[in-house]
Amino acid sequence: MLWIRIDAMNTLVLIDGNSLMYRAYYATAYSGNLMKTSTGIFTNALYGFVNMMNKVLDDYNHTHMLVAFDAGKTTFRHEFLESYKDGRKPMPDEMRSQINLIKKYLDLLGVKRLELATYEADDIIGTLSTQAKGDNFDKVHIITGDKDLLQMVDEKTIVHITRKGVTDIESFDEAAVFAKYEVSPQQIVDLKGLMGDPSDNLPGIPGVGEKTAIKLLKQFTTVENLVAHTDELKGKMREKVEANVEQAILCKRMATIHKEVPLPLTFDDLRYEGPHVEELMAFFKEMEFNAFLKKIKMEESKESKPQLPIRIIQSEQELDQLTYQDSAIHVEVFEENYHRGTILGIAVVNQEEAYYAPFELAKKSEAFLSFLSCSTYKKSIFDVKRSRVALMWEGLPLEGVDFDLLLATYILNPTNGSREFKKVVMHYDYDGVSYDEEVYGKGAKRAVAAPEKVARYAIDIATAVFKLKNQILEQLREQGQLELFEEMEMPLADVLATMEFNGMALDLNGLEEMGETLKSRLVALESSIFEQAGMSFNINSPKQLGEVLFEKLSLPVIKKTKTGYSTNADVLEKLCDEHPIIHLIMEYRTLSKLYSTYIEGLKKACYDDGKVHTIFNQALTQTGRLSSVEPNLQNIPIRLEEGRMIRKAFVPSQEGWLILGADYSQIELRILAHISNTESLIEAFKQGDDIHKKTAMDVFKVSEEEMTSDLRRSAKAINFGIIYGMSAFGLSENLNITQKEAKKYIDHYLETYSGIHQYMEDIVKEAKYNGYVSTLFNRRRYIPELTQKNYAIRQFGERTAMNAPIQGTAADIIKKAMIDVSRMMQEKKVQSRLLLQVHDELIFEVPENELELMIELVTKTMEDVVELKVPLKADYSYGPTWYDAK
DNA sequence: ACGGGCTGCAA
DNA sequence: TATTGCAGCCCGT
């Protein structure tokens, strides 16, 4: 059972009703045609107002709320200055008619409102916010379009000023006021006293504008002090000030908000209890606000239970005084890429409490930081690597994480792997958390949300982790996957975190040079291509290229795609002899790929530290492999020399170090030999034979002497095909032979290695029976395709069943190798670092004096990861750059 | 601005 | 109509 302590966390929201009504009206009125109902009632101000209120209700985690209105035409201010607010245009009738609609709306919404005869809305707000601070409120939010209220800002009070429109808001705490106006909130009235305010018909000191006023306040702090020391001013300035002393003091007084208005209500009256749903819906219907109507209906259906208030930590002292214990935590990082992202805050949920600590406070609290770094406090988390790396960039360690919901659910079912928290927990029927998009928005509109909103989201996530943990662990145990989770994925996350954080150094100058060379070659190629084509066009557009080749130049169409002619490399290959333009295009394609993806792409991904910090996705692939993004360092060219040169730009981060690469030799075929128990292949591996040659001899029935490189190449293709669950068609495409020949090859192969044939049949049966296949380390892949009616889909399921255990076991083995190697490196206290994993190889940077040790340590550890019927073999190579480690 | 399609790079 | 990925570019919406 989870108990969340409900602290006396009160948040008061005060709204300047008149100000927002004006904003709402004019924001939609400038176009000329005002929104109205079919019966002719003007509703544009109401509409804007509702929009505004919806945003307020979403954003501020309020417990109490009030909307203040101005009442009569005369206020106490008119006693001092009769001309106050003279010269204002009268309120348009179209707006006036909406005042009562807005008031009715607020009543139905359940929000208190107040207007007083001789006071303005500002004064009501000023009085309430002042009282609230002494009365058990932790936070006061004031929402207005009027900058006067900025004078109320203090450590507990934030003023939100509407900018253009109604929902675009600028928030001011003390620092923000200072940043924008260069004065403290208290000085806002002095500023106004000096500058005046034309909209209230306050003159101030004529000739003094914002700039001068700020300058004077920097020197004299207040109007009174300025008045007392006018002798320190010179020339015209002194004349201007002295001539208007009284006016300045009066204007300041006029602008000063009255904080002791007698009020006919208590805070209890302001408690927000929610809307009168039925009546509000009827009202929206009457106003023809269909979008709002729909919104209520949606909220009604999904929110049957009200949200509990949440606790947001307000000071570092509060954090220092907490007692810490095993908890679920969530580190909220804004931005998909956590290397560049900002930590907004950290939520903590345990048996007794649930709270959210804004990161600015959290990082200053010693008690909280030692909670994070202490491994005796056990933490549950979602995506530990993300949290850990983000904290590493802040120089903060995170230890003691023994449960990662992302990794656990990924193991239970790899299709669950998603960084979208809600999607993951939905698989476990958990519904108590929003989509990331609902919190931050999407696309161009994506932005950091209000702290209350973020806090809610973060606490919801931590709560879900806390609640789901035992259920998920139990399921892992039942399925025999606990060890895979605890001994493989969890420790691997820490290894990966360090790799990502360390990053890999780039030789940017080298990259730049290669780029220049490529660019000039591309320019030359482009003009040759245009010349050959007799026209210029976009070579990068398959559509335009297709038209040039197959219409303008009338070359034979080899293949079509869904949308037109295929112009891929295979097609171009076949057209090579038809026209001299083809080889130019092929070269153009190769070079422009290198230029845009690898030269420009890598440059863009390079950080200020001269390194690329990739992110390994540990919970994505269906087979258990890792993937790599921003940049993808698992597909850097190697096969063609021109592309391979890119690798010269990957260098050690320190002078005199080397890049060391170690890769498993034929790991997938070894695994296949092991699982299928194919004696002759096992023997061949034991003896260290060339396995493709061996396959060629067995399948094509030739002796060692009769072996040709062509036969070996064919055998290699068959071996690859076997791993992927090939078809005759696939092999024929690959080897450019007929399907009939391909079929013959495959039959021969399966006859020769009957164990493999048996394995292929058994694994498909097993998959159909269980619904999933497993790797040697109990990783699962579910294959629902096998139950489908569609033949092609079922075929795909069968290939998946054959391939997943092989690819997956290989992934398991290298993951374990990474953990073992990292532990060995810590034991030996080497400086060398693991940088990358590329599916069957590990890349390190090593100081020269550790080279020998590392070669021995790495290859030995990789080979000893697991004992199979075949030996594992790791090869290595090294050099000054990744290019040389071949 | 987003997303689908095509293309090509890796193991 | 061979497995697993990521990303750039084009182009329609």
What gap in Å lies between CA A95 and CA A24, rounded to an integer? 10
The residue to which tokens 């307000």 are assigned: A314
Range scoring the smallest mean pLDDT among A116-120, A592-596, A653-657: A116-120
Taking the CA of residue A619 and the C1' sugar atom of nucleotide C6, their distance in angstroms comes to 15
What pLDDT sits at residue A296? 73
- Whether residues A353 and A454 share a domain: the answer is yes
- Whether residues A705 and A775 share a domain: the answer is yes
- Whether residues A473 and A326 share a domain: the answer is yes
Taking the CA of residue A799 and the C1' sugar atom of nucleotide C2, their distance in angstroms comes to 8
- Whether residues A380 and A267 share a domain: the answer is no
Is A568 within 7 A of strand B by CB distance? yes
Per-residue pLDDT tens over the stretch A658-685: 999 999 999 999 999 999 999 999 999 9
Residues 544-563 of A with CB under 7 A from strand B: 561-563
Taking the CA of residue A586 and the C1' sugar atom of nucleotide B7, their distance in angstroms comes to 12
Range scoring the smallest mean pLDDT among A96-110, A244-258, A470-484: A244-258
Name the residue among A280, A270, A266, A296 with its Cα closest to residue A63.
A270
pLDDT above 60 for A244: yes
Is residue A115 a part of any domain in this protein? yes
Q: What's the structural domain count of chain A? A: 5
What gap in Å lies between CA A280 and CA A537, rounded to an integer? 60
Is residue A39 a part of any domain in this protein? yes
Taking the CA of residue A336 and the C1' sugar atom of nucleotide B4, their distance in angstroms comes to 22
Is residue A167 a part of any domain in this protein? yes
Contact A135, A267 (CB under 8 A): yes
- Positions of strand C less than 7 angstroms from a protein CB: 1-11
Is residue A23 a part of any domain in this protein? yes
Report the percent of chain A where pLDDT is more than 90. Answer: 58
Q: What is residue A611's three-state secondary structure? A: strand
Here the CATH number for the domain that contains residue A267 is 3.40.50.1010
pLDDT above 50 for A64: yes
- Whether residues A324 and A462 share a domain: the answer is yes
Taking the CA of residue A394 and the C1' sugar atom of nucleotide B11, their distance in angstroms comes to 34
- Whether residues A163 and A242 share a domain: the answer is no
Determine the protein residue whose CA lies at the shortest distance from the C1' of B10. A635
Is residue A867 a part of any domain in this protein? no
Residues 786-815 of A with CB under 7 A from strand C: 792, 795-796, 799-800, 803, 807
Give per-residue burial for A503-535: e unless 16+ CB within 10 Å, then b: bbbbeeebbeebbeebeebbeebeeebbebbee
Name the residue among A11, A166, A198 with its Cα closest to residue A89.
A198
The kind and range of the H/E element at A572 are: helix A569-575
Per-residue pLDDT tens over the stretch A256-273: 888 888 888 888 888 888
Taking the CA of residue A594 and the C1' sugar atom of nucleotide B6, their distance in angstroms comes to 17
What pLDDT sits at residue A12? 87
Taking the CA of residue A444 and the C1' sugar atom of nucleotide C13, their distance in angstroms comes to 17
Average pLDDT, stretch A847-856? Answer: 98
Is residue A317 a part of any domain in this protein? yes
Is A408 within 7 A of strand C by CB distance? no
Is residue A838 a part of any domain in this protein? no
Residues 639-698 of A with CB under 7 A from strand B: 639-640, 643
Taking the CA of residue A798 and the C1' sugar atom of nucleotide C3, their distance in angstroms comes to 12
pLDDT band at A168 (very low <50, low <70, confident <90, very high): low
Here the CATH number for the domain that contains residue A471 is 3.30.420.10
Which nucleotide is nearest, taking the CA of residue A591 and each C1'? B8
Per-residue pLDDT tens over the stretch A364-382: 999 999 999 999 999 999 9
What angle, 0 to 180 degrees and rounded to 10, lies between the N-to-C axes of helices A405-412 and A451-478? 40
- Whether residues A599 and A686 share a domain: the answer is no
**Domain, as residue range, for A472:** 310-481
What gap in Å lies between CA A517 and CA A493, rounded to an integer? 40
Which nucleotide is nearest, taking the CA of residue A540 and each C1'? C9
Is residue A857 a part of any domain in this protein? no
What pLDDT sits at residue A3? 42
- Whether residues A588 and A558 share a domain: the answer is yes
- Whether residues A353 and A236 share a domain: the answer is no
Range scoring the smallest mean pLDDT among A167-171, A652-656, A806-810: A167-171
Is A638 within 7 A of strand B by CB distance? yes
Which nucleotide is nearest, taking the CA of residue A734 and each C1'? C2
Is A723 within 7 A of strand B by CB distance? no
Determine the protein residue whose CA lies at the shortest distance from the C1' of C8. A597
- Whether residues A278 and A325 share a domain: the answer is no
- Whether residues A736 and A688 share a domain: the answer is yes
Determine the protein residue whose CA lies at the shortest distance from the C1' of C1. A729
Average pLDDT, chain A: 88
- Positions of strand B less than 7 angstroms from a protein CB: 1-2, 5-11
Which nucleotide is nearest, taking the CA of residue A840 and each C1'? B11
Picking from A239, A256, A273, the residue at the C-terminal end of a domain is A256
Per-residue pLDDT tens over the stretch A311-320: 999 999 999 9
pLDDT band at A1 (very low <50, low <70, confident <90, very high): very low
- Whether residues A235 and A324 share a domain: the answer is no
Here the CATH number for the domain that contains residue A751 is 1.10.150.20
What pLDDT sits at residue A97? 82
